[in-house]
Amino acid sequence: MSPEDSAAVSLPDQPEAKVDGDWNRVHPASPFVRGWVALAAVGFFFGRDAFERMLQGRDFLDPNLNGRVPWLLAGGAVVLLLTVGSFILSWYFTRYQVAEGYVRVNTGFLFKQQRQARLDRVQAIDIVQPLLARIFGLAELKFEVADAGESAVRLAYLPLAQAKQLRATILARAAGVVSEPGKEEEIPEAPEHVVLSVPPARLIGSLVLSEQTVGILIGAAVVVTVSLFTENQTLFLALIPGILGIGAAYWNSFNKGYNFTAAISPDGIRLRYGLLDTQAQTLPPGRIQAVMVTQPPLWRIFGWYRMAVNVAGYGLSGSTEGAARTMLLPVGMKPDVLRMMSLVLPDPGVEDPERVFTAGLDGLAPAGPDAAPTDGFVTTPRRARLLAPLGRRRNGFLATRTALLIRSGRWWHTLVLVPHQRTQSMALHQGPLARRFGVADLVLHTTAGPVSPRVFQADAAQAVELFDQQAARAREARKRQTSEQWLAEVAPQAPEIAAAAEQPTQPAQPAQSAQPARPIQPEYPRTSPQQEDRHDG
């Protein structure tokens, strides 16, 4: 990340530079919401013994302390005052500003720090509400910029309405809506239309039938078998930490996927989810670098799929929070997948996108030795069947006018989609065995994330040809496409959204804001009117 995109520098004690925007402070309760653990720790340290004595029916204060009680109370009061004082100073010296094409945050009393991010590099904006913040009606605003390994700017906490207003303003400025520098315009939050939602029953079913459950059952069977043969019952005690960890993992997945809702608006795709801690993401589709659709074996019984994305600025998703932020759809049917695909890639570059994506999700190459592929995907040659006995008929790629599709996995079906303009670099890999069978892997490099685009075991000559053609496609696509095309591409799916995009600075009409968003069904054109869009409960 370059210094001009996002910076965190120590500043000397000097007057603020004159800028065209006003400096504002976060909500006064912010440091207490952030630091409630410190207050609880102080109370626990000084009040634990007294509380235990009260429960046991003894005197509230230990008589052995004698004259030390006033000193202990004075010490506790000093610690409490210092903690509260640090909270107040933290709030007073934390200010933010949106001006001159930047969002800036100044923090620090003794050691000052300024963090800033360029508005035209903003990749996505999240509104996060932990449980305690929801009680006080507050929210945290997080900004992601290009090449950032973590949030470049975090504003915690603002009133929820103010956080939504600030998000709308920054997204509008990032898209170039504000034309006159120095003119502070109050931009209302863009309208939205709900596209889909995930029922809680389906979310619970997906967790029960997940890969994690299969691993748990296999591990439990191994432990029971070993304990029966060795007659050692203490093995079950060793499972207690694992059971607690597994329970926490299931709870985190349920908490992050609960009430998942996707909507479209002029500024991008809006995702909302969370049971106790709620989060609202805004993803401009032009910032999405790659999409991955997966289907574990047990999910094939109900036709469920999962979607994840690479977004510039989100970085790796090793933590639970990171995995939730890169999840485009936790569990959904094939119509849901096609619906989200139509938002990420409005122009798939083929005449029959439903047939092509269905072949990518579930297709197999013909089994005959001389049979040619009928779905358009170029698959692993038959001579490499010993090298890929299970994946040979699934491994394949297909290049459309706008994206490269890569499918793999015989048991765990995987489909990866990379828009041509998002290909940053490529590499050809060929080990000794692959060279013996005349195949090679082509790796596409995008921003860091859960999606790792890789064409597995393609014919060596076809891999080299794809390498050259994909480089040319990426170069041409970058010349003719921009990330702000979302505002125009969304018009056929939601005319009201497109109309709002044409006049983003006009205040919203009261009648529109009072009406709930109507669910719409954006999707690719169908080739047969008999095909119905089914959506399970």
Q: What is the pLDDT along the chain (537 residues), one digit of tens a residue?
A: 444 444 443 444 433 434 346 788 888 888 777 766 666 666 666 666 666 666 656 655 555 555 565 666 677 677 778 877 777 888 888 888 877 778 888 887 778 888 887 777 776 778 888 888 888 889 888 877 765 555 567 888 889 888 888 888 777 766 555 545 555 556 777 778 899 999 999 999 999 998 888 888 887 788 778 777 877 766 667 677 777 778 888 888 898 889 999 998 877 788 999 988 888 888 877 778 899 999 999 999 999 999 999 987 675 544 556 667 789 999 999 999 999 998 888 888 898 899 999 999 998 888 766 666 678 899 999 899 888 888 888 999 999 999 999 999 988 999 999 999 999 899 999 999 999 999 999 999 988 889 999 999 999 999 999 999 999 999 998 887 654 444 555 545 555 555 555 554 443 333 333 334 444 456 665 544 334 443 343
Q: What residues have CB less than 8 Å from 38, skipping those under 6 apart?
A: 83
- The conformation of residue 523, written as its DSSP 8-state character, comes to -
32 three-state secondary structure: helix
Q: Which residues are bridge partners to 396 per DSSP?
A: 379, 407
Check if the beta carbon of residue 229 is closer than 8 Å to that of residue 246: no
What is the rounded distance in angstroms from the CA atom of residue 116 to the CA atom of residue 3? 9
Tokens of 349: 């570059």
For residues 343 and 271, what is the distance between their CA atoms, to the nearest angstrom? 13
The three-state secondary structure class of 458 is strand
Q: What's the length of the chain? A: 537
Asked whether 157 and 27 are in contact (CB, 8 A), the reply is yes
Sign of CA dihedral 486, 492, 497, 499: positive
Backbone angles phi, psi at 301, to 5 degrees: -60, -40
> Is residue 456 within 8 Å of residue 391, measured between CB atoms?
yes
Q: Facing residues of 418 across strands?
A: 404
- Report d(CA 154, CA 162) in Å as an integer: 14
Paired with 443 in beta bridges are: 427, 454
Of the candidates 462, 339, 376, 482, the residue with the CA atom closest to the CA atom of residue 422? 482
Q: DSSP string spanning 177-192?
A: ---STT----PPPPP-
- CA-to-CA dists, residue 109 to 16, 85, 351, angstroms: 14, 12, 61
**Are the C-beta atoms of 414 and 408 separated by less than 8 Å?**
yes
Cβ atoms < 10 Å from Cβ of 453: 24
pLDDT given for residue 413 in this prediction: 94
